[in-house]
Structure 1
Amino acid sequence: MSDIKKVVLAYSGGLDTSVILKWLQDTYQCEVVTFTADIGQGEEVEPARKKAVALGIKPENIFIDDLREEFVRDFVFPMFRANAIYEGEYLLGTSIARPLIAKRQIEIANQTGADAVSHGATGKGNDQVRFELGYYALKPDVKVIAPWREWDLLSREKLLAYAEKNGIDITKKKSGGSPYSMDANLLHISYEGTVLENPAAEPEEDMWLWTVSPENAPDQAEYVEFEYKNGDIAAINGVQMSPAQVLTELNRLGGKHGIGRLDIVENRYVGMKSRGCYETPGGTIMMKAHRAIESITLDREVAHLKDELIAKYASLIYNGYWWSPERKMMQSMIDASQATVNGWVRLKLYKGNVIVVGRDSKTDSLFDPNIATFDEDFGAYNHADAAGFIRLNSLRMRIAAKLYNK
């Protein structure tokens, strides 16, 4: 790839991507465009501009974009319409951010005439797959530079030595800072590495940054009510909110009540098992509430079909296939099912628990109290019909029993 003239780098301003920036300049002798995304990670993104300038990047080649609304509206909300959950527990907080970053990188590459893109994902993780599948789906002929698969800077000590040798600002590395490898966005924050590499070791309490421990959460439960429109939360406690505002407020409520902590060993797409801890307070609340409103607004077979597809849909996102035709096809079906998912849900938040206490829809509820009642239904439901229904459904078992139970 010696003919590369310009590359767009996904740039955080941290140690790894600052080293990558300089390495790209030295190794490929190319022009570098930096792209920094604000997807709600909770850190200032503007310092990345100053660091990029210090490394010789032209001001017109520095892109810093606030993508919080797009992230929640076009990626998080569609995923939660599907009730997507990987291996029964993981709410895909890291996975769902990668297709957006890849999309914006390709847009910048097209805008600036760049012929390559680059990322800071390692050769052991899932993110390299997610980024690059996105790149190729959106720009098939783009060239991809993955430094962790090319260089010999395979330890933090070597990275620091390279940074010092090249005058790269490493003040982001704080004495006494977090020892974990962390990734954050508006949906979650993840923790990996160091003591967590022993799956038998309990995480230290001071690791968790977004949530109080359930033991220290308020002793008084808090009620919250959501209004749904086409499967998405449109208002909280009667206040209309944008998608990013919704998730921000749910993170605040969930963090306050110790909701959304997770400690799992997951199966990475590249083949290894990995132990990770996650905080997803707002997503945990959203998942519970969405299933509650669907319980009264979705037809039984539609709901069951959606449940059968969850594992496949979640795997597509986890493995990096957001832009694949099969995910898009499934999304069309899922979104069509949400046309009737309108109404309200009331939850109780208490010491790490999300408890559904009410749900209703004035326009789309399929719950008929006249039929469901245990009291006299005055002919709304003919009990005698159940006999034939049961006999027909038992027919195959009765035939088999006569044959084999002699």
Structure 2
Amino acid sequence: MAKEKIVLAYSGGLDTSVILKWLKETYDAEIIAFTADIGQKDELDGLEEKALQTGASKIYIDDLREEFAKDFINPMFQAGALYEGQYLLGTSIARPLIAKRMVEIARAEGATAIAHGATGKGNDQVRFELTAAALAPELSVIAPWRLEQFREEFPGRAEMIAYAEKHGIPVTASAAKPYSTDRNLLHISFESGMLEDPWFDAASDENKGMYVLSVAPEDAPDQAEYIELEFDKGDCVAINGNKLSPLQVMETLNEIGGKHGIGRVDMVENRFVGMKSRGVYETPGGTILFTAHRKMESLTMDRDVMHLRDSLITKYATLVYNGFWFAPERLAIQALVGESQKNVTGTVRLKLYKGNVMGAGVKSPVSLYNPDIATMEADPTKAYDQGDATGFIRLNALRLKVSSGVEQNAKK
């Protein structure tokens, strides 16, 4: 009888390398490794050889960067998603794409289960498994870190390193690693280790070496840089007149933003599983794109449509953070968002300087801004009669006057 097949989300790091070998031995199964190229750069070097050497029957390394930018980052930015006022959801938005592709591979290979190396304390376990539940409820999910047998065997990193050495698994980890990272096209995150102390200053001079995508703002160029982003129906399609794909937009903006120290965030956030955690993020290109998109909307989006969409930002961002990308409520909100973006077209000019992104002009062929109406001078269009405001204010003040009168009578 053929062995059971398990598809493992594999990064090549210490945890997933050990998990690959452990799954093969514990379940006597064929392990198919899967790595999504979503912009990790050199972190992908040597993965195929390492996975096969560790015991995988095969490995998929799929370039999903364009799909990530087009079908995940862009729709999320159209929704204005910002978690707890700071986090641009760089890790959160990558997980449903990875899980989606895992499901596709599992079905193509005839696997009965997928597995991941997310811990039982984090958000990623939820994101992977909610996606699997939405797309392939027939598949089982194996989460070793939630299994007592696995935790007893590996109570700490020292035991994992010893296991790797015993089985000839090449790892570069050490027991003294000061923090963990997660990188993709949209951002890089840093957490755990020394960062678990919220009083620890991650922006100090001695910690400059931690950052990957950006220079410190104080070390950025002394000369400001101006850039222009062109939008079509809510998506950036060109930078400085050069037509670009969604992937190229992100790569270009990451390079420009990183040079100017843009996009660093240090926050304590609320995890879905109930605890607070401290995260440090670099999102240089995303910060520029997010700012430019909002400025484009300010000129082209109807007021009440904008306010309706904005009322859903917290809900939408929470859905993404918690792993509900493929849930019907996120899809319903996205449909509304898509409708709101049909006229978000034009050009935004930005000034970049030492960590700051400042507006420097916006124009559009479908602009809703009419200087003749907005002017403080005489209105040549006669579209607005200032005298009409008297009745407008009187009607809006009516309920306030009635309420105030009731309160005053109650005090007598």
TM-score by length of 2: 0.95
One-letter amino acid of the counterpart of residue 365, structure 1: S
One-letter amino acid of the counterpart of residue 243, structure 1: P
For the 8 Å contact 1:4–1:28, the answer to whether it is kept is no
- Structure 1 stretch displaced more, 159-168 or 311-320: 159-168
> 1:284-340, CA deviations, whole angstroms, 9 ceiling, x for partnerless residues?
111110110000111101111111100000000000000100000000110111111
Tell me if 1:122 matches 2:119: yes
Identify if the C-alpha distance between structure 1 residues 290 and 24 changes in structure 2 by more than 3 Å, giving closer, same or farther. Answer: same
> 1:340-363, CA deviations, whole angstroms, 9 ceiling, x for partnerless residues?
10001000000000001111111x
Equivalent in 311, 323, 328 of residue 314 of structure 2:
311
Match of 2:288 in 1: 285
Q: Where in structure 1 do 4 or more consecutive aligned residues deviate above 6 Å?
A: none
Cα distance between partner residues in 1 of 2:18 and 2:55 = 13
Gaps of 5+ in 1: none
Match of 2:102 in 1: 105
Tell me if 1:140 matches 2:137: yes
1:55 Cα offset (Å): 2.4
Tell me if 1:402 matches 2:401: no
Question: In the comparison of the two structures, how many residue pairs are matched?
Answer: 399
Cα distance between partner residues in 2 of 1:240 and 1:156 = 47
Matches within 5 A, 1:125-274: 125-150=122-147, 151-152=150-151, 153-170=154-171, 172-173=172-173, 179-203=178-202, 204-274=207-277
Match of 1:320 in 2: 323
Cα distance between partner residues in 2 of 1:44 and 1:401 = 65
Identify if the C-alpha distance between structure 1 residues 174 and 239 changes in structure 2 by more than 3 Å, giving closer, same or farther. Answer: farther
Secondary structure at the aligned position of 1:128 is classed as helix
Match of 1:45 in 2: 44
1:154 Cα offset (Å): 3.0
For the 8 Å contact 2:131–2:323, the answer to whether it is kept is yes
Cα distance between partner residues in 2 of 1:231 and 1:107 = 29
Identify if the C-alpha distance between structure 1 residues 120 and 68 changes in structure 2 by more than 3 Å, giving closer, same or farther. Answer: same
Identify if the C-alpha distance between structure 1 residues 102 and 4 changes in structure 2 by more than 3 Å, giving closer, same or farther. Answer: farther
One-letter amino acid of the counterpart of residue 340, structure 2: S
Cα distance between partner residues in 1 of 2:270 and 2:54 = 38
Aligned-pair RMSD on alpha carbons?
1.4
Cα distance between partner residues in 2 of 1:118 and 1:257 = 39
One-letter amino acid of the counterpart of residue 193, structure 1: S
- Structure 1 stretch displaced more, 373-382 or 114-123: 373-382
One-letter amino acid of the counterpart of residue 301, structure 2: L
Match of 2:376 in 1: 374
1:389 Cα offset (Å): 0.3
Percent same amino acid among aligned pairs? 58
Cα distance between partner residues in 2 of 1:347 and 1:293 = 11
Equivalent in 73, 76, 80 of residue 73 of structure 2:
76
Cα distance between partner residues in 2 of 1:235 and 1:8 = 38
Secondary structure at the aligned position of 1:168 is classed as coil
For the 8 Å contact 2:373–2:383, the answer to whether it is kept is yes
Gaps of 5+ in 2: none
> 1:133-192, CA deviations, whole angstroms, 9 ceiling, x for partnerless residues?
01111101110000111112131101101111111111x33799x621100000000000
For the 8 Å contact 1:148–1:154, the answer to whether it is kept is no
Equivalent in 335, 353, 358 of residue 356 of structure 2:
353
Secondary structure at the aligned position of 2:326 is classed as coil
Match of 1:365 in 2: 367
One-letter amino acid of the counterpart of residue 368, structure 1: N
For the 8 Å contact 1:4–1:116, the answer to whether it is kept is no
1:54 Cα offset (Å): 1.0
Secondary structure at the aligned position of 2:41 is classed as coil
Secondary structure at the aligned position of 2:227 is classed as strand
Secondary structure at the aligned position of 2:255 is classed as helix
For the 8 Å contact 2:226–2:352, the answer to whether it is kept is yes
- Structure 1 stretch displaced more, 191-200 or 373-382: 373-382
Secondary structure at the aligned position of 1:405 is classed as helix
